[in-house]
Protein backbone atom coordinates (compact mmCIF):
# COMPACT_ATOMS: atom_id res chain seq x y z
CA UNK A 1 0.00 0.00 0.00
CA UNK A 2 1.12 3.47 -0.77
CA UNK A 3 1.41 4.74 2.78
CA UNK A 4 3.56 7.45 4.20
CA UNK A 5 5.23 6.97 7.46
CA UNK A 6 4.86 9.78 9.91
CA UNK A 7 6.73 10.25 13.14
CA UNK A 8 5.32 11.85 16.29
CA UNK A 9 8.73 12.27 17.73
CA UNK A 10 8.40 9.44 20.24
CA UNK A 11 9.79 6.83 17.87
CA UNK A 12 6.48 5.08 17.31
CA UNK A 13 5.64 4.60 13.67
CA UNK A 14 2.07 5.29 12.70
CA UNK A 15 0.97 4.40 9.20
CA UNK A 16 -0.82 7.20 7.51
CA UNK A 17 -3.05 6.65 4.56
CA UNK A 18 -2.68 9.48 2.07
CA UNK A 19 -5.71 11.41 0.97
CA UNK A 20 -5.21 10.38 -2.60
CA UNK A 21 -6.14 6.82 -1.69
CA UNK A 22 -9.19 7.77 0.35
CA UNK A 23 -10.46 10.14 -2.24
CA UNK A 24 -12.43 7.75 -4.33
CA UNK A 25 -13.15 9.20 -7.67
CA UNK A 26 -16.62 8.51 -8.95
CA UNK A 27 -16.68 7.68 -12.60
CA UNK A 28 -18.54 10.13 -14.74
CA UNK A 29 -20.94 8.55 -17.14
CA UNK A 30 -21.58 10.65 -20.17
CA UNK A 31 -23.72 8.01 -21.78
CA UNK A 32 -25.94 5.16 -20.60
CA UNK A 33 -24.53 2.37 -18.49
CA UNK A 34 -24.24 -0.33 -21.13
CA UNK A 35 -24.24 0.36 -24.82
CA UNK A 36 -27.08 2.08 -26.61
CA UNK A 37 -30.71 1.92 -25.52
CA UNK A 38 -32.86 -0.17 -27.75
CA UNK A 39 -35.16 1.93 -29.91
CA UNK A 40 -37.61 -1.01 -29.60
CA UNK A 41 -37.80 -0.65 -25.81
CA UNK A 42 -41.10 1.18 -25.92
CA UNK A 43 -42.62 -1.26 -28.37
CA UNK A 44 -42.01 -4.61 -26.71
CA UNK A 45 -44.67 -7.21 -27.39
CA UNK A 46 -44.93 -10.82 -26.45
CA UNK A 47 -43.66 -13.30 -29.03
CA UNK A 48 -46.37 -15.23 -30.89
CA UNK A 49 -47.47 -18.34 -29.06
CA UNK A 50 -49.01 -21.26 -30.89
CA UNK A 51 -50.58 -22.41 -27.65
CA UNK A 52 -52.43 -19.14 -27.22
CA UNK A 53 -53.42 -19.02 -30.87
CA UNK A 54 -54.82 -22.54 -31.04
CA UNK A 55 -56.13 -23.07 -27.53
CA UNK A 56 -58.91 -20.77 -26.39
CA UNK A 57 -59.90 -22.81 -23.35
CA UNK A 58 -56.80 -24.52 -21.92
CA UNK A 59 -58.72 -26.18 -19.09
CA UNK A 60 -61.04 -28.05 -21.41
CA UNK A 61 -58.62 -28.72 -24.28
CA UNK A 62 -57.11 -32.15 -24.89
CA UNK A 63 -54.83 -33.65 -27.53
CA UNK A 64 -55.89 -36.77 -29.36
CA UNK A 65 -53.95 -38.89 -31.82
CA UNK A 66 -55.62 -40.22 -34.98
CA UNK A 67 -55.66 -43.76 -36.28
CA UNK A 68 -57.55 -44.62 -39.49
CA UNK A 69 -58.53 -43.08 -42.79
CA UNK A 70 -62.21 -42.11 -42.62
CA UNK A 71 -61.50 -38.37 -42.35
CA UNK A 72 -58.74 -37.80 -44.94
CA UNK A 73 -61.10 -35.53 -46.91
CA UNK A 74 -61.13 -33.15 -43.95
CA UNK A 75 -57.34 -33.17 -43.84
CA UNK A 76 -57.15 -35.62 -40.95
CA UNK A 77 -54.55 -38.35 -41.50
CA UNK A 78 -53.20 -41.20 -39.38
CA UNK A 79 -50.82 -40.00 -36.64
CA UNK A 80 -52.13 -36.44 -36.83
CA UNK A 81 -52.84 -34.77 -33.52
CA UNK A 82 -56.24 -33.20 -33.01
CA UNK A 83 -56.81 -30.26 -30.71
CA UNK A 84 -60.11 -30.97 -29.03
CA UNK A 85 -62.07 -28.44 -27.00
CA UNK A 86 -64.58 -30.20 -24.79
CA UNK A 87 -66.28 -27.02 -23.58
CA UNK A 88 -67.71 -26.14 -27.00
CA UNK A 89 -71.24 -27.05 -27.96
CA UNK A 90 -71.18 -29.14 -31.16
CA UNK A 91 -72.98 -27.56 -34.12
CA UNK A 92 -73.80 -29.15 -37.46
CA UNK A 93 -70.70 -28.80 -39.64
CA UNK A 94 -68.24 -29.30 -36.77
CA UNK A 95 -65.75 -32.15 -36.79
CA UNK A 96 -66.27 -33.86 -33.46
CA UNK A 97 -64.82 -36.58 -31.30
CA UNK A 98 -67.84 -38.69 -30.45
CA UNK A 99 -68.53 -41.80 -28.46
CA UNK A 100 -70.78 -44.13 -30.41
CA UNK A 101 -71.86 -47.42 -28.85
CA UNK A 102 -69.04 -47.22 -26.34
CA UNK A 103 -66.26 -46.44 -28.83
CA UNK A 104 -64.47 -43.26 -29.84
CA UNK A 105 -64.78 -41.96 -33.38
CA UNK A 106 -64.05 -38.73 -35.24
CA UNK A 107 -66.61 -37.58 -37.81
CA UNK A 108 -68.33 -34.49 -39.10
CA UNK A 109 -71.66 -33.78 -37.42
CA UNK A 110 -74.28 -33.04 -40.07
CA UNK A 111 -78.00 -32.34 -40.03
CA UNK A 112 -79.91 -33.48 -43.09
CA UNK A 113 -83.65 -32.85 -43.36
CA UNK A 114 -83.94 -32.46 -39.63
CA UNK A 115 -81.91 -35.55 -38.72
CA UNK A 116 -78.44 -35.67 -37.26
CA UNK A 117 -75.77 -37.94 -38.72
CA UNK A 118 -72.03 -38.59 -38.49
CA UNK A 119 -70.43 -38.06 -41.84
CA UNK A 120 -67.04 -39.54 -42.78
CA UNK A 121 -64.90 -37.57 -45.21
CA UNK A 122 -63.83 -40.46 -47.39
CA UNK A 123 -65.99 -42.05 -50.15
CA UNK A 124 -65.04 -45.54 -48.89
CA UNK A 125 -66.96 -44.97 -45.66
CA UNK A 126 -70.70 -44.73 -45.05
CA UNK A 127 -72.78 -42.03 -43.38
CA UNK A 128 -73.85 -43.00 -39.86
CA UNK A 129 -77.40 -41.80 -39.14
CA UNK A 130 -78.08 -40.98 -35.49
CA UNK A 131 -81.50 -42.49 -34.82
CA UNK A 132 -83.23 -42.72 -31.46
CA UNK A 133 -81.53 -46.02 -30.71
CA UNK A 134 -77.99 -44.73 -31.12
CA UNK A 135 -76.03 -44.51 -27.88
CA UNK A 136 -74.19 -41.35 -28.73
CA UNK A 137 -72.26 -38.64 -26.86
CA UNK A 138 -70.22 -35.70 -28.07
CA UNK A 139 -66.81 -35.94 -26.36
CA UNK A 140 -65.42 -32.73 -27.82
CA UNK A 141 -65.15 -30.45 -30.83
CA UNK A 142 -62.02 -30.60 -33.01
CA UNK A 143 -60.72 -27.06 -33.38
CA UNK A 144 -57.46 -27.74 -35.24
CA UNK A 145 -55.42 -30.51 -36.78
CA UNK A 146 -51.65 -30.76 -36.35
CA UNK A 147 -50.29 -32.41 -39.45
CA UNK A 148 -46.78 -32.92 -40.77
CA UNK A 149 -46.96 -32.27 -44.53
CA UNK A 150 -44.22 -34.69 -45.57
CA UNK A 151 -46.03 -37.62 -44.05
CA UNK A 152 -48.83 -37.53 -46.60
CA UNK B 1 -81.20 -15.61 6.61
CA UNK B 2 -82.21 -16.25 3.07
CA UNK B 3 -83.18 -13.93 0.24
CA UNK B 4 -81.30 -10.99 -1.17
CA UNK B 5 -78.24 -9.77 0.68
CA UNK B 6 -77.16 -13.12 2.06
CA UNK B 7 -73.83 -14.86 1.58
CA UNK B 8 -73.83 -18.53 0.59
CA UNK B 9 -71.21 -21.23 0.54
CA UNK B 10 -71.09 -23.94 -2.10
CA UNK B 11 -69.04 -27.10 -1.75
CA UNK B 12 -68.25 -28.62 -5.12
CA UNK B 13 -66.96 -32.16 -4.81
CA UNK B 14 -66.09 -34.49 -7.69
CA UNK B 15 -67.88 -37.82 -7.56
CA UNK B 16 -65.49 -40.78 -7.23
CA UNK B 17 -62.78 -38.49 -8.61
CA UNK B 18 -60.00 -40.94 -9.57
CA UNK B 19 -62.45 -43.41 -11.10
CA UNK B 20 -64.13 -40.53 -12.96
CA UNK B 21 -60.75 -39.40 -14.35
CA UNK B 22 -60.21 -42.89 -15.77
CA UNK B 23 -63.71 -42.86 -17.24
CA UNK B 24 -63.28 -39.48 -18.86
CA UNK B 25 -60.78 -40.96 -21.33
CA UNK B 26 -62.25 -44.43 -21.67
CA UNK B 27 -65.90 -44.94 -22.68
CA UNK B 28 -65.56 -48.68 -22.12
CA UNK B 29 -65.67 -47.83 -18.40
CA UNK B 30 -68.79 -45.69 -18.49
CA UNK B 31 -71.29 -48.16 -17.14
CA UNK B 32 -69.15 -50.84 -15.53
CA UNK B 33 -67.71 -51.03 -12.00
CA UNK B 34 -64.29 -49.31 -11.76
CA UNK B 35 -61.85 -49.14 -8.86
CA UNK B 36 -58.52 -47.39 -8.40
CA UNK B 37 -55.81 -48.78 -6.13
CA UNK B 38 -53.34 -46.94 -3.89
CA UNK B 39 -49.56 -46.84 -4.39
CA UNK B 40 -48.18 -50.31 -4.80
CA UNK B 41 -51.67 -51.48 -5.75
CA UNK B 42 -52.32 -52.07 -2.06
CA UNK B 43 -55.81 -50.81 -1.22
CA UNK B 44 -58.93 -49.56 -2.93
CA UNK B 45 -58.91 -45.74 -2.87
CA UNK B 46 -61.65 -44.89 -5.38
CA UNK B 47 -64.79 -46.68 -6.51
CA UNK B 48 -67.39 -45.96 -9.12
CA UNK B 49 -70.99 -46.16 -7.90
CA UNK B 50 -71.29 -49.61 -9.51
CA UNK B 51 -68.26 -50.80 -7.51
CA UNK B 52 -69.74 -49.35 -4.31
CA UNK B 53 -72.93 -51.26 -5.01
CA UNK B 54 -70.89 -54.47 -5.09
CA UNK B 55 -69.91 -53.78 -1.49
CA UNK B 56 -66.26 -52.95 -2.23
CA UNK B 57 -65.29 -50.76 0.73
CA UNK B 58 -63.04 -47.73 0.75
CA UNK B 59 -59.52 -48.68 1.90
CA UNK B 60 -60.07 -52.42 1.49
CA UNK B 61 -56.88 -54.35 0.69
CA UNK B 62 -56.86 -55.47 -2.93
CA UNK B 63 -56.43 -59.16 -2.16
CA UNK B 64 -59.58 -59.11 -0.04
CA UNK B 65 -61.78 -58.11 -2.99
CA UNK B 66 -59.98 -60.09 -5.68
CA UNK B 67 -62.82 -62.61 -5.90
CA UNK B 68 -65.54 -59.94 -6.18
CA UNK B 69 -63.50 -58.26 -8.88
CA UNK B 70 -63.16 -61.44 -10.89
CA UNK B 71 -66.81 -62.43 -10.60
CA UNK B 72 -68.16 -59.02 -11.57
CA UNK B 73 -65.52 -58.02 -14.08
CA UNK B 74 -64.61 -54.94 -12.10
CA UNK B 75 -62.08 -52.80 -13.99
CA UNK B 76 -59.02 -52.18 -11.85
CA UNK B 77 -56.55 -49.29 -12.19
CA UNK B 78 -53.32 -48.38 -10.44
CA UNK B 79 -53.29 -44.77 -9.32
CA UNK B 80 -52.17 -42.37 -12.06
CA UNK B 81 -51.42 -39.21 -10.11
CA UNK B 82 -50.00 -37.43 -13.14
CA UNK B 83 -53.46 -37.61 -14.70
CA UNK B 84 -55.44 -36.95 -11.51
CA UNK B 85 -53.28 -33.95 -10.64
CA UNK B 86 -53.78 -32.38 -14.05
CA UNK B 87 -57.52 -33.07 -14.08
CA UNK B 88 -57.79 -31.55 -10.60
CA UNK B 89 -56.09 -28.38 -11.82
CA UNK B 90 -58.54 -28.15 -14.72
CA UNK B 91 -61.51 -28.69 -12.40
CA UNK B 92 -60.33 -26.01 -9.95
CA UNK B 93 -59.66 -23.50 -12.74
CA UNK B 94 -63.15 -23.94 -14.13
CA UNK B 95 -64.71 -23.53 -10.68
CA UNK B 96 -62.60 -20.45 -10.00
CA UNK B 97 -63.61 -18.90 -13.32
CA UNK B 98 -67.17 -19.02 -11.99
CA UNK B 99 -66.37 -17.68 -8.55
CA UNK B 100 -63.00 -16.14 -7.72
CA UNK B 101 -63.58 -16.49 -3.97
CA UNK B 102 -62.58 -20.12 -3.65
CA UNK B 103 -60.83 -22.41 -1.19
CA UNK B 104 -59.33 -25.58 -2.62
CA UNK B 105 -60.12 -28.04 0.14
CA UNK B 106 -58.60 -31.18 -1.36
CA UNK B 107 -57.60 -32.62 -4.73
CA UNK B 108 -61.27 -32.95 -5.68
CA UNK B 109 -63.29 -30.49 -3.60
CA UNK B 110 -63.51 -26.74 -3.22
CA UNK B 111 -65.60 -24.21 -1.34
CA UNK B 112 -67.00 -21.24 -3.23
CA UNK B 113 -68.13 -18.13 -1.38
CA UNK B 114 -71.08 -16.65 -3.20
CA UNK B 115 -71.79 -12.99 -2.53
CA UNK B 116 -75.15 -11.22 -2.82
CA UNK B 117 -74.21 -9.99 -6.32
CA UNK B 118 -74.17 -13.63 -7.44
CA UNK B 119 -77.94 -13.54 -7.06
CA UNK B 120 -80.78 -14.89 -4.97
CA UNK B 121 -81.08 -18.42 -3.65
CA UNK B 122 -83.16 -19.46 -6.66
CA UNK B 123 -80.69 -17.87 -9.07
CA UNK B 124 -77.79 -19.61 -7.33
CA UNK B 125 -79.48 -22.98 -7.76
CA UNK B 126 -79.81 -22.36 -11.49
CA UNK B 127 -76.18 -21.21 -11.69
CA UNK B 128 -74.89 -24.23 -9.78
CA UNK B 129 -76.71 -26.63 -12.08
CA UNK B 130 -75.13 -24.80 -15.01
CA UNK B 131 -71.69 -24.83 -13.39
CA UNK B 132 -71.98 -28.55 -12.85
CA UNK B 133 -72.85 -29.04 -16.52
CA UNK B 134 -69.90 -26.88 -17.59
CA UNK B 135 -67.49 -28.97 -15.50
CA UNK B 136 -69.01 -32.18 -16.82
CA UNK B 137 -68.81 -31.13 -20.44
CA UNK B 138 -65.33 -29.58 -20.17
CA UNK B 139 -63.65 -32.39 -18.25
CA UNK B 140 -66.01 -35.36 -18.17
CA UNK B 141 -65.91 -35.23 -14.37
CA UNK B 142 -69.26 -35.32 -12.53
CA UNK B 143 -69.40 -33.05 -9.50
CA UNK B 144 -71.97 -32.64 -6.77
CA UNK B 145 -72.64 -29.23 -5.32
CA UNK B 146 -74.00 -28.50 -1.88
CA UNK B 147 -75.29 -24.99 -1.28
CA UNK B 148 -76.03 -23.47 2.14
CA UNK B 149 -75.53 -20.35 4.27
CA UNK B 150 -72.46 -21.84 6.02
CA UNK B 151 -69.53 -24.13 5.19
CA UNK B 152 -70.63 -26.78 7.68
CA UNK B 153 -74.13 -26.92 6.18
CA UNK B 154 -72.66 -26.86 2.65
CA UNK B 155 -70.66 -29.97 3.54
CA UNK B 156 -73.86 -31.72 4.59
CA UNK B 157 -75.67 -30.36 1.54
CA UNK B 158 -73.01 -31.92 -0.65
CA UNK B 159 -73.52 -35.24 1.04
CA UNK B 160 -77.24 -34.93 0.26
CA UNK B 161 -76.57 -33.75 -3.31
CA UNK B 162 -74.77 -37.03 -3.98
CA UNK B 163 -77.69 -39.02 -2.64
CA UNK B 164 -80.82 -37.19 -3.64
CA UNK B 165 -79.90 -33.90 -5.31
CA UNK B 166 -81.76 -32.68 -8.34
CA UNK B 167 -79.12 -32.75 -11.08
CA UNK B 168 -76.41 -33.12 -8.46
CA UNK B 169 -77.17 -29.90 -6.60
CA UNK B 170 -78.76 -29.58 -3.17
CA UNK B 171 -79.77 -26.55 -1.18
CA UNK B 172 -79.84 -26.99 2.57
CA UNK B 173 -81.39 -24.41 4.86
CA UNK B 174 -80.79 -24.43 8.60
CA UNK B 175 -83.41 -26.32 10.56
CA UNK B 176 -84.49 -28.32 7.50
CA UNK B 177 -86.42 -31.49 8.20
CA UNK B 178 -83.83 -33.60 6.37
CA UNK B 179 -81.28 -32.83 9.12
CA UNK B 180 -83.29 -35.12 11.42
CA UNK B 181 -82.14 -38.03 9.29
CA UNK B 182 -78.44 -37.21 9.50
CA UNK B 183 -76.49 -38.75 12.39
CA UNK B 184 -74.30 -36.29 14.32
CA UNK B 185 -71.05 -37.96 13.32
CA UNK B 186 -71.70 -36.95 9.71
CA UNK B 187 -71.42 -33.31 10.73
CA UNK B 188 -68.07 -31.76 9.83
CA UNK B 189 -66.00 -31.42 12.98
CA UNK B 190 -67.88 -33.89 15.15
CA UNK B 191 -65.29 -36.43 16.24
CA UNK B 192 -65.77 -39.67 18.16
CA UNK B 193 -65.45 -38.03 21.60
CA UNK B 194 -68.09 -35.47 20.71
CA UNK B 195 -70.52 -38.16 19.70
CA UNK B 196 -70.40 -39.88 23.10
CA UNK B 197 -70.89 -36.68 25.07
CA UNK B 198 -73.75 -35.64 22.81
CA UNK B 199 -75.42 -39.03 23.12
CA UNK B 200 -75.50 -38.53 26.90
CA UNK B 201 -77.94 -35.65 26.51
CA UNK B 202 -79.88 -37.50 23.84
CA UNK B 203 -78.47 -35.69 20.81
CA UNK B 204 -78.11 -38.09 17.93
CA UNK B 205 -79.04 -36.18 14.79
CA UNK B 206 -77.76 -33.03 13.09
CA UNK B 207 -81.13 -31.36 13.70
CA UNK B 208 -81.01 -32.07 17.45
CA UNK B 209 -77.45 -30.79 17.55
CA UNK B 210 -78.50 -27.51 15.94
CA UNK B 211 -80.96 -27.00 18.83
CA UNK B 212 -78.59 -27.59 21.73
CA UNK B 213 -78.40 -24.52 24.00
CA UNK B 214 -75.37 -22.37 23.28
CA UNK B 215 -74.35 -22.33 26.96
CA UNK B 216 -74.13 -26.10 27.08
CA UNK B 217 -71.97 -26.18 23.93
CA UNK B 218 -69.74 -23.45 25.39
CA UNK B 219 -69.35 -25.35 28.64
CA UNK B 220 -68.85 -28.74 27.04
CA UNK B 221 -66.78 -28.00 23.94
CA UNK B 222 -65.70 -24.37 24.29
CA UNK B 223 -65.28 -21.94 21.42
CA UNK B 224 -65.05 -24.71 18.84
CA UNK B 225 -68.40 -26.10 19.94
CA UNK B 226 -70.12 -22.72 19.79
CA UNK B 227 -68.71 -22.17 16.32
CA UNK B 228 -70.06 -25.52 15.21
CA UNK B 229 -73.49 -24.69 16.65
CA UNK B 230 -73.59 -21.32 14.91
CA UNK B 231 -72.61 -22.89 11.60
CA UNK B 232 -75.37 -25.49 11.92
CA UNK B 233 -77.87 -22.76 12.71
CA UNK B 234 -76.91 -20.94 9.53
CA UNK B 235 -74.71 -18.17 10.95
CA UNK B 236 -71.32 -18.30 9.20
CA UNK B 237 -68.51 -18.75 11.71
CA UNK B 238 -65.97 -20.22 9.30
CA UNK B 239 -64.69 -18.25 6.31
CA UNK B 240 -62.59 -19.40 3.41
CA UNK B 241 -59.09 -20.43 4.44
CA UNK B 242 -56.32 -18.62 2.61
CA UNK B 243 -54.23 -20.84 0.32
CA UNK B 244 -51.14 -22.37 1.87
CA UNK B 245 -48.19 -20.46 0.47
CA UNK B 246 -45.38 -22.09 2.41
CA UNK B 247 -45.65 -25.64 3.61
CA UNK B 248 -44.34 -26.56 7.03
CA UNK B 249 -43.03 -29.96 5.99
CA UNK B 250 -42.70 -32.24 3.01
CA UNK B 251 -42.77 -36.00 3.06
CA UNK B 252 -41.88 -38.67 0.55
CA UNK B 253 -42.72 -42.20 1.61
CA UNK B 254 -43.64 -45.34 -0.23
CA UNK B 255 -43.92 -49.00 0.50
CA UNK B 256 -41.80 -51.52 -1.36
CA UNK B 257 -43.03 -54.02 -3.87
CA UNK B 258 -41.75 -56.81 -1.64
CA UNK B 259 -39.92 -57.02 1.66
CA UNK B 260 -36.38 -55.67 1.56
CA UNK B 261 -33.64 -57.33 3.64
CA UNK B 262 -30.42 -55.83 2.26
CA UNK B 263 -28.75 -52.52 3.07
CA UNK B 264 -27.78 -51.64 -0.54
CA UNK B 265 -31.40 -51.95 -1.66
CA UNK B 266 -32.59 -49.79 1.23
CA UNK B 267 -30.04 -47.12 0.35
CA UNK B 268 -31.16 -47.26 -3.27
CA UNK B 269 -34.79 -46.75 -2.27
CA UNK B 270 -34.04 -43.93 0.15
CA UNK B 271 -31.84 -42.27 -2.49
CA UNK B 272 -34.79 -42.26 -4.88
CA UNK B 273 -37.04 -40.79 -2.18
CA UNK B 274 -34.39 -38.15 -1.41
CA UNK B 275 -34.34 -37.29 -5.12
CA UNK B 276 -38.14 -36.80 -5.15
CA UNK B 277 -37.88 -34.80 -1.92
CA UNK B 278 -35.29 -32.49 -3.47
CA UNK B 279 -37.49 -31.95 -6.51
CA UNK B 280 -40.49 -31.14 -4.33
CA UNK B 281 -38.51 -28.69 -2.19
CA UNK B 282 -37.01 -26.94 -5.21
CA UNK B 283 -40.37 -26.60 -6.90
CA UNK B 284 -41.49 -24.39 -4.03
CA UNK B 285 -38.08 -22.73 -3.54
CA UNK B 286 -37.70 -24.21 -0.11
CA UNK B 287 -34.80 -25.81 1.72
CA UNK B 288 -34.96 -28.32 4.57
CA UNK B 289 -33.23 -27.63 7.85
CA UNK B 290 -33.92 -31.07 9.24
CA UNK B 291 -34.80 -34.48 7.86
CA UNK B 292 -36.22 -37.57 9.51
CA UNK B 293 -35.66 -40.91 7.83
CA UNK B 294 -37.94 -43.75 8.84
CA UNK B 295 -38.06 -47.44 8.04
CA UNK B 296 -40.97 -49.78 8.72
CA UNK B 297 -41.01 -53.54 8.98
CA UNK B 298 -43.78 -55.49 7.29
CA UNK B 299 -46.66 -55.19 9.78
CA UNK B 300 -48.37 -58.35 8.55
CA UNK B 301 -45.30 -60.57 8.86
CA UNK B 302 -42.76 -59.03 11.18
CA UNK B 303 -39.72 -61.32 11.42
CA UNK B 304 -38.04 -59.51 14.28
CA UNK B 305 -37.97 -61.36 17.60
CA UNK B 306 -38.72 -58.15 19.47
CA UNK B 307 -41.58 -57.29 17.12
CA UNK B 308 -40.51 -53.67 16.69
CA UNK B 309 -41.87 -52.21 13.48
CA UNK B 310 -40.86 -48.57 13.28
CA UNK B 311 -37.36 -47.12 13.19
CA UNK B 312 -36.47 -43.49 12.66
CA UNK B 313 -33.58 -41.09 12.85
CA UNK B 314 -33.74 -37.32 12.73
CA UNK B 315 -30.82 -35.32 11.40
CA UNK B 316 -30.40 -31.62 11.90
CA UNK B 317 -28.64 -30.49 8.76
CA UNK B 318 -25.58 -28.26 9.20
CA UNK B 319 -26.84 -26.14 6.32
CA UNK B 320 -30.43 -26.10 5.10
CA UNK B 321 -30.56 -27.64 1.65
CA UNK B 322 -32.72 -28.70 -1.26
CA UNK B 323 -29.81 -30.26 -3.15
CA UNK B 324 -30.38 -33.86 -4.05
CA UNK B 325 -26.79 -34.98 -3.50
CA UNK B 326 -26.74 -33.58 0.04
CA UNK B 327 -30.14 -35.05 0.84
CA UNK B 328 -28.98 -38.45 -0.45
CA UNK B 329 -25.80 -38.26 1.61
CA UNK B 330 -27.62 -37.52 4.85
CA UNK B 331 -30.51 -39.89 4.24
CA UNK B 332 -28.13 -42.76 3.41
CA UNK B 333 -26.20 -42.14 6.61
CA UNK B 334 -29.43 -42.39 8.57
CA UNK B 335 -30.28 -45.66 6.84
CA UNK B 336 -26.83 -47.07 7.63
CA UNK B 337 -27.39 -46.17 11.25
CA UNK B 338 -30.88 -47.68 11.39
CA UNK B 339 -30.31 -50.84 9.38
CA UNK B 340 -30.41 -54.15 11.21
CA UNK B 341 -29.87 -57.42 9.42
CA UNK B 342 -32.79 -59.83 9.72
CA UNK B 343 -35.51 -57.20 9.59
CA UNK B 344 -37.91 -57.40 6.67
CA UNK B 345 -38.50 -53.77 5.70
CA UNK B 346 -41.71 -52.92 3.87
CA UNK B 347 -41.69 -49.15 3.76
CA UNK B 348 -39.34 -46.19 4.03
CA UNK B 349 -39.75 -42.46 3.96
CA UNK B 350 -38.15 -39.11 4.51
CA UNK B 351 -39.80 -36.19 6.25
CA UNK B 352 -38.30 -32.76 5.66
CA UNK B 353 -38.92 -30.13 8.33
CA UNK B 354 -37.74 -26.68 9.38
CA UNK B 355 -38.34 -25.51 5.87
CA UNK B 356 -37.14 -22.07 4.86
CA UNK B 357 -37.01 -20.06 1.65
CA UNK B 358 -33.95 -21.24 -0.24
CA UNK B 359 -32.74 -17.68 -0.77
CA UNK B 360 -32.54 -17.08 2.96
CA UNK B 361 -30.35 -19.90 4.17
CA UNK B 362 -28.27 -18.98 7.16
CA UNK B 363 -24.57 -19.77 6.74
CA UNK B 364 -22.67 -22.05 9.07
CA UNK B 365 -19.27 -21.02 10.36
CA UNK B 366 -18.02 -24.58 10.14
CA UNK B 367 -19.37 -25.45 6.73
CA UNK B 368 -17.76 -24.05 3.63
CA UNK B 369 -20.37 -22.09 1.75
CA UNK B 370 -18.61 -21.73 -1.55
CA UNK B 371 -19.55 -23.87 -4.51
CA UNK B 372 -23.23 -23.80 -3.58
CA UNK B 373 -24.17 -21.59 -6.51
CA UNK B 374 -22.66 -24.21 -8.79
CA UNK B 375 -24.68 -26.93 -7.08
CA UNK B 376 -27.80 -24.83 -7.40
CA UNK B 377 -27.18 -24.46 -11.14
CA UNK B 378 -26.59 -28.20 -11.46
CA UNK B 379 -29.89 -28.95 -9.73
CA UNK B 380 -31.72 -26.49 -11.96
CA UNK B 381 -30.23 -28.14 -15.04
CA UNK B 382 -31.29 -31.60 -13.81
CA UNK B 383 -34.83 -30.40 -13.03
CA UNK B 384 -35.12 -28.80 -16.45
CA UNK B 385 -33.93 -31.95 -18.23
CA UNK B 386 -36.29 -34.15 -16.26
CA UNK B 387 -39.19 -31.81 -16.84
CA UNK B 388 -38.67 -31.59 -20.56
CA UNK B 389 -37.57 -35.12 -21.35
CA UNK B 390 -39.44 -37.07 -18.72
CA UNK B 391 -38.53 -37.82 -15.11
CA UNK B 392 -35.43 -39.97 -14.58
CA UNK B 393 -33.70 -38.61 -17.65
CA UNK B 394 -30.84 -37.79 -15.28
CA UNK B 395 -30.50 -39.10 -11.74
CA UNK B 396 -27.88 -39.94 -9.15
CA UNK B 397 -26.10 -43.27 -9.38
CA UNK B 398 -26.93 -44.17 -5.78
CA UNK B 399 -30.53 -44.64 -6.92
CA UNK B 400 -29.39 -47.75 -8.79
CA UNK B 401 -30.59 -48.49 -12.30
CA UNK B 402 -34.13 -47.15 -12.63
CA UNK B 403 -35.33 -50.21 -14.51
CA UNK B 404 -33.72 -52.64 -12.09
CA UNK B 405 -35.05 -51.38 -8.79
CA UNK B 406 -36.41 -54.64 -7.42
CA UNK B 407 -38.00 -52.86 -4.45
CA UNK B 408 -39.79 -50.26 -6.56
CA UNK B 409 -43.53 -50.08 -6.42
CA UNK B 410 -45.62 -52.06 -8.79
CA UNK B 411 -48.08 -50.27 -11.00
CA UNK B 412 -49.58 -53.14 -12.80
CA UNK B 413 -52.67 -51.47 -14.16
CA UNK B 414 -51.66 -47.87 -14.76
CA UNK B 415 -53.61 -46.00 -17.43
CA UNK B 416 -51.84 -43.67 -19.88
CA UNK B 417 -50.84 -40.22 -18.67
CA UNK B 418 -53.19 -38.73 -21.28
CA UNK B 419 -52.54 -35.08 -20.51
CA UNK B 420 -48.88 -34.88 -19.57
CA UNK B 421 -47.01 -37.17 -22.00
CA UNK B 422 -47.09 -36.85 -25.79
CA UNK B 423 -46.37 -40.54 -26.21
CA UNK B 424 -49.37 -41.43 -24.04
CA UNK B 425 -52.12 -39.17 -25.40
CA UNK B 426 -55.51 -40.61 -26.23
CA UNK B 427 -55.58 -42.53 -29.52
CA UNK B 428 -58.84 -42.52 -31.44
CA UNK B 429 -59.74 -44.81 -34.32
CA UNK B 430 -61.20 -42.69 -37.09
> pLDDT of A118-143, one tens digit each?
999 999 999 999 988 888 899 999 99
Q: Which pLDDT score is estimated for A16?
A: 57
Sign of torsion, CA B208 B214 B218 B222? positive
Q: Which pLDDT score is estimated for A10?
A: 47
User: Which is catalytic among the residues A31, A56, A70, A148?
Assistant: A70
Residue B283 phi/psi, 5° resolution? -60, -35
Asked about A52 being catalytic, the answer comes back as no
**Residues of chain B contacting residue A66, judged by C-beta atoms under 8 Å apart:** 427-428, 430
- Rounded Cα gap, residues B84 and B81, in angstroms: 5
- Rounded Cα gap, residues A57 and B94, in angstroms: 10
- Rounded Cα gap, residues B234 and B210, in angstroms: 9
Task: Tell me the β-bridge partners of B296.
Answer: B310, B347
Asked about A70 being catalytic, the answer comes back as yes
Burial label, A3 (beta-carbon count in 10 A; 0-12, 13-18, 19+): exposed
**Residues of chain B contacting residue A105, judged by C-beta atoms under 8 Å apart:** 428-430
Three-state secondary structure call for residue B287:
strand
**Residues of chain B contacting residue A58, judged by C-beta atoms under 8 Å apart:** 93
Nearest Cα residue in chain A from B430 = A68
Cβ atoms B396, B324 nearer than 8 A: yes
pLDDT tens across the length of chain B (430 residues): 444 468 999 999 999 999 999 999 999 999 999 999 987 788 999 999 999 999 999 999 999 999 999 999 999 999 999 999 999 999 999 999 999 999 999 999 999 999 888 888 889 999 999 999 999 999 999 999 999 999 999 999 999 999 876 789 999 999 999 999 999 999 998 877 788 889 889 999 999 999 999 999 999 889 999 999 999 999 999 999 887 766 788 999 988 888 999 999 999 999 999 999 999 999 888 999 999 999 999 988 899 999 899 999 999 999 899 999 999 999 999 999 999 999 999 999 999 999 988 877 777 777 776 677 888 889 989 998 988 887 788 999 888 887 777 777 667 898 999 999 999 999 998 8
Contacts of B232 (CB under 8 A, 6+ apart): B150, B152, B153, B174, B187, B206, B209, B210
Assembly ipTM: 0.80
Q: Do A81 and B427 touch (CB under 8 A)?
A: no
Amino acid sequence: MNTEQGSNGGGTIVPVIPMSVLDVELPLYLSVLAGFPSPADDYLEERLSLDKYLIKHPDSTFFVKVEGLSMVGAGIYPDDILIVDRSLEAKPGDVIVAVLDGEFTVKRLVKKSGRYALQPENPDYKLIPLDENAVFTVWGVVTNVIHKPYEL
Amino acid sequence: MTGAGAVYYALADANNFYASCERSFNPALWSVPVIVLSNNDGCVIARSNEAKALGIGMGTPYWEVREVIRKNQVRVYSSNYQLYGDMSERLMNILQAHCADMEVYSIDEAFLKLQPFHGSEAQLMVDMVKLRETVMRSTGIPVSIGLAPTKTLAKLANHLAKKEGIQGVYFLSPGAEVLAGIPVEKVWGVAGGYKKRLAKIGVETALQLSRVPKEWMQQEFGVVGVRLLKELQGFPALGLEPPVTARKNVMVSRSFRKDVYALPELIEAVSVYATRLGEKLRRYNQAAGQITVFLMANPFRNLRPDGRGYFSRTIELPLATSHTNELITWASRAVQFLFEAGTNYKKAGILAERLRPDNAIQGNLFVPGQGREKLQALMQACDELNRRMGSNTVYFASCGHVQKQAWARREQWASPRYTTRWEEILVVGV
